[in-house]
Amino acid sequence: MTVEGGGGRDAATTPIIPGFSPDPSVCRVGADYYLANSSFEYAPGIPIWHSRDLRTWTQLGNALDRESQFPAGASDPSRGIYAPTLRYRDGTFYLVTTNVDAPGEQIVVTATDPAGPWSDPIVLAGLGGIDPDLAWDDDGTCVLTYCGLDPALRPHGGDLPVIAQARVDLARGEVRERPRVVWGGTGLAHPEGPHLFQRDGWWYLLIAEGGTERGHAVSVARSRAIDGPFEAAPANPILSRRSTSSPVQNTGHADLVERPDGTWAMVYLGVRPRGFSPAFHVNGRETFLARVEWVDGWPVVHVDDLLPAPADTAFIDDFTGPLHPRWVSPGAPLSAFVERAAGGGLLLRRTDAATGAPAALSARTRDLRWRYEARVDASAGAVALRVRLDERHWYEARLDAGALTFAARIGPLSVSDDVGRVDGEAVTLVVEAVDATAEGPDDLRFGVIGADGERWLAQKDGRYLSTEVAGGFTGRTLGLHALGAEPARILSARYSPVAG
């Protein structure tokens, strides 16, 4: 069961890592916590975070930062890199994940420093599925548990995935046995996202169920042996917001961690939908925190902890130092189209991926209301500021030799309108998420700041850049990309939350 508390800025409604940070996996080394998230088609992939208190997190880097680990630009929206598991053993960090565009494989990368560099992948073939987990039995045997999608694992039919497992040899990159089913879940849809951990002589198997939409939930089972048989908890699911009026929904896909004082905590994903039914979430699935109490040998989830403050999401970047790990791209590795400009800032070259996505210097939106400004060289090549959910759902403002255009694509429909001109050698393109004028989650308002001051160009309903409209597993990103043969020049970028 889930126990909720009273008012305040509580963990039930405040993400600890806001904005497109799904499928969290956490581990502790001494007094330090480390966390990894899914990244799907974006590169570099799998953000790695650090905290000393589980509440305040700093991004250290991205684990998959080169082509030998993840071929950037080859994956369609909401494909690519799925749910990772991050673990630590004997001085080494292990990160296991799935690239769904390499079916039948699970990949493992390792590092002695979670900030990187991370190794080239160890490829474990013949394990068709997603959401892998690593655990080590008492004799040191490594076990990979995952959401099995191979029909051979379901000899009696049915279309639900199962939780499967196999012993693996990471040193040799080998699967040591035929995978076996260890649990089918409680009967809810889509059992997935398994994590195994040990406590008081029991192996606990934590899974997500119900699908990653409004029915999402966390369930748990236990066994005396790492390979089962597993007994389901009597109070499953132990976490869900389904059929409630909570402002945070779709809660699930959790991982557990023990604090140094012996208490336990859970990280899990959730979304913050807004607007009229069915309500729309736009920042993707975010990472939340809960306290865990053990009662009669089973975890009970409490979401009544108070958080000291929301995450600090604001940034100003003039691109004078190394590129911050917040910057990613859906269409190509950053190194393929970003370079330092001689006079300061960055040059962006037009590069389109095989999937059709333009390579864009992109950052995740992380708040319900926010403002983003990109100061660009108006005398350089044409440039666009795009708010993207995927390649079929985006709005953008374009600047080409002083001419301004607003363009949009919603599914099969696209529009492009001339919206005036702007003077000045340096021009600032602006976009804000503001209160909705209709029944959506917000409006997106595009503007420009030039020699004659600030003015607004277009304001559009934000629901069309939501998961409920577009589908998929990601959230909005703010991308800057070149439009023509001449490189665009970006002088600085600024993002700030706005009180709503």
Residue 343 φ/ψ, nearest 5 degrees: -95, 10
Q: How many CB atoms lie within 10 A of CB 232?
A: 16
Closest CA to 446 of 406, 481, 486, 473: 406
Our answer to whether residue 23 is catalytic in this structure is: yes
- 192 as an active site residue: the answer is yes
Catalytic member of 23, 65, 255, 443: 23
Longest dimension (CA), the chain: 72
* Nearest residue to 305 via CA among 320, 321, 319, 289: 289
Q: Residue 270's closest CA among 54, 22, 489?
A: 22
Alpha carbon of residue 371 to chain centroid:
21
Place of tokens 């330090």: 32
Taking alpha carbons only, the member of 166, 174, 23 closest to residue 97 is 23
Q: Which residue of the set 41, 131, 133, 192 is catalytic? A: 192
Active site residues: 23, 192
